[in-house]
Amino acid sequence: MSQPPITCLLDAKNKLGEGCLWDEDGQCLWWLDIAPTSKLHILDPATGATRHWTFPIVLTCFALANRNRLLIGGEPGLFFFDPATGALTDFARPEIDRPGNRGNDGAADARGRFWFGTMQQNIAADGSDMDITRDSGALYRVGADGVSKLMFDNVGVSNGPNWSPDNKTFYFSDTKNQNIYAFDFDLDSGNLSNQRIFNDSKLHGYPDGATVDADGFLWSARWDGSCIVRIDPKGRIDRVVEMPVTRPTCVVFGGPELDTIYVTSACANMPPEMFKKRPLEGGLFCFNPGVKGLPKHKFGAA
């Protein structure tokens, strides 16, 4: 297919836009700017109306939850957030034994469990970058009871947890090491097996956030690659969609028919000359990919 037109919905100048999520019930888009001070944003694409909340801690990922709440993952663990009251309450601390780490990406599976990935802390208190020097991250499965189970260890930067449409394959990206893994997934038990490299291409930057379409293809945002790649179920790159930013970070299907892809991006600590070349760095974008996506699961759902 030819390159689709890319629309900038919001010149947000997000320092580190992440975690975009479509709310089918509310027909709105949620996303985070995770760099300090973290902000949670919501957009109604039909009207262009936006709202945001600000938090004193680094928050990095989330899922919709019951009682109109969000389950939000962040630097120290997992929290419930109530948009109606602004209340943020503790829920789980999967990684209290690794104080040099922080949370990163996460998603809920079809049984309502939350898969929460971590990484070495790389954001200083003033928002500046710190080097990632070790593969100290991990992936955890967190149940509705708050109990966490270590699922995968020795990760550089955790990103892109996703499932195939039949829930038989789990995908997970290690951005630092430029690998996307596939695992056999048992939906009932939540267990993983048969780990393998799904795609390790170095041609299009680093694999960041991801989503799966209704045909079972994985769409991967490519940090420092200025594009989104579509990967077929055998791990082959099927399509490359060029983006007007250097660091696309996360993708999700949305819209009334789930036929629009929304894309967040980052602009933190970029040299000024980058903005001359790509003035929309850190913006929120969308395009029509010509295929439909799947609704995202809620935390705690049966």
Write out the two tokens for 295.
């609704």
Write out the two tokens for 95.
């990684």
| CA proximity to 247, closest of 102, 129, 153, 101 | 129
State phi, psi for 277 to the nearest 5 degrees. Answer: -80, -40
Check 208, 213, 224, 232 and give the catalytic one. 208
- Residues 123 and 181: their CA atoms lie apart, in Å, by 25
Name residues whose C-beta falls within 8 Å of residue 202's C-beta, 6 or more positions apart in sequence. 178
Element (H, E) at 272: helix 272-277
- Residues 186 and 176: their CA atoms lie apart, in Å, by 27
232: annotated active-site residue: no
- Residues 267 and 248: their CA atoms lie apart, in Å, by 10
DSSP state of 275: H
How many residues appear in the chain?
302
Write out the two tokens for 249.
């970070």
- Residues 98 and 148: their CA atoms lie apart, in Å, by 14
Give residue for tokens 């995968």: 152
Cα 31 to Cα 60, 116, 135: the distances in Å are 9, 16, 26
- Residues 71 and 299: their CA atoms lie apart, in Å, by 7
Catalytic residues: 208
